[in-house]
Amino acid sequence: MERLILDFLAYLELERGLARNTLEAYRSDLLQFGEFLDRRGLSVMEVQHGDLAAFLSELALRDGERQPVAAATLARKVACLRSFYRHLRREGAIEHDPTAELRGPQKTQRLPRVLTRGEVTRLLCEPKGTEPRALRDRALLELMYACGLRASEAVGLELADIDVEEGVLRARGKGSKERLVPIGRQALGALDSYLRRGRPALVGLRVESRLFVNSRGSGLTRQGLYKIVQGHAHGAGLEEKMSPHTLRHTFATHLLAGGCDLRSLQEMLGHADLATTQVYTHLSAERLKDAYFNAHPRASRDGSRPLRSKDGHAHSDDGHARSGTGSETDIS
């Protein structure tokens, strides 16, 4: 089976252009499946639908020692097995695809967590001073929010990927797909300060192509980026609300709220499928409903929300005044 796995992974990398992380996940999934087959004395070539169902059930139920596999992970394993056996059939190694009727668990759609504009401002103001690392951190956070970059895309940026004159950058997304993304004015300002006064001090005499570097002057890693983001999130009181990917979600939601069309957003995010981008329309719809119910005088959710007149008194829907003062609601 090891030879079959290597051949399959080579196909995914060379012909499908899948990302390294996906290849590693698929390799792990198939090795786990191989161990299951070994325990049952089965060959990968003689697997039937029932064997696949038993493997997935074992993962979903588990025993007292291990927790059940999450639905999203289970769905990835199903996708891996289906792709693997389709490849074997294309290559003529098998005649019948045992995964033809295989179905994964129904994935529940979770709306991504986003920051308000006020929270973004607090985060971006957190790197203070003109020290090289502060300039780097400010440029990094500004660029991730301004361009909706994934963590891997941010650390993978090279100097040649930035065109300050045109105000655009080239991001390399999943599957090594490239896209151009505009850079906003404030992000360009932070980037210019970092390139002139921050990066040269960190890099010194080294030859380094990466845009963002660590304190030793070598390319920043994903772990290093995570520590930077979490450190400043903690300083802004947002450590429980965000991860590096939160800035990407926030970028998308704020663009839609500002009137950006879905196709343009898809291009800037680097999504292959428009359906992936559409999750942000659901999120924006929720924010619009919140804004509506908080602002419209006759749109109470429960029918009993006090209305506020110009004289500052609260009134019920029947027009009778009530005591108390209102508070402003942040709908940014």
Q: Of residues 174, 287, 308, 313, which has the active-site annotation? A: 174
Distant-in-sequence contacts of 99-104, Cβ < 8 A, 24+ apart: 99/49, 99/52, 100/49, 101/49, 102/49, 102/52, 102/53, 102/78, 103/78, 104/56, 104/74, 104/75, 104/77, 104/78, 104/79
Beta bridge partners of residue 172, listed in sequence order: 178
Q: Of residues 210, 248, 249, 254, which has the active-site annotation? A: 248
- Catalytic (active site) residue 287: no
Nearest-angstrom CA–CA distance, 283 and 277? 11
Backbone angles phi, psi at 129, to 5 degrees: 95, -175
- Catalytic (active site) residue 172: no
How would you list the strands of the sheet with 178-182, edge to edge? 162-163, 168-172, 178-182
- Catalytic (active site) residue 248: yes
- Catalytic (active site) residue 117: no
- Are 246 and 113 spatial neighbours (Cβ–Cβ below 8 Å)? yes
Q: Of residues 136, 138, 210, 271, which has the active-site annotation? A: 271
- Catalytic (active site) residue 107: no
Q: Of residues 26, 85, 145, 280, which has the active-site annotation? A: 280
Structure tokens at 21: 């992380």
Say which residue the tokens 């196709």 belong to. Answer: 263
Q: Of residues 87, 136, 150, 254, which has the active-site annotation? A: 150
- Catalytic (active site) residue 150: yes
Among 260, 289, 265, CA closest to 275: 265
Angle between helices 132-147 and 244-257 in degrees, nearest 10: 50
Provide the annotated active-site residues. 150, 174, 245, 248, 271, 280
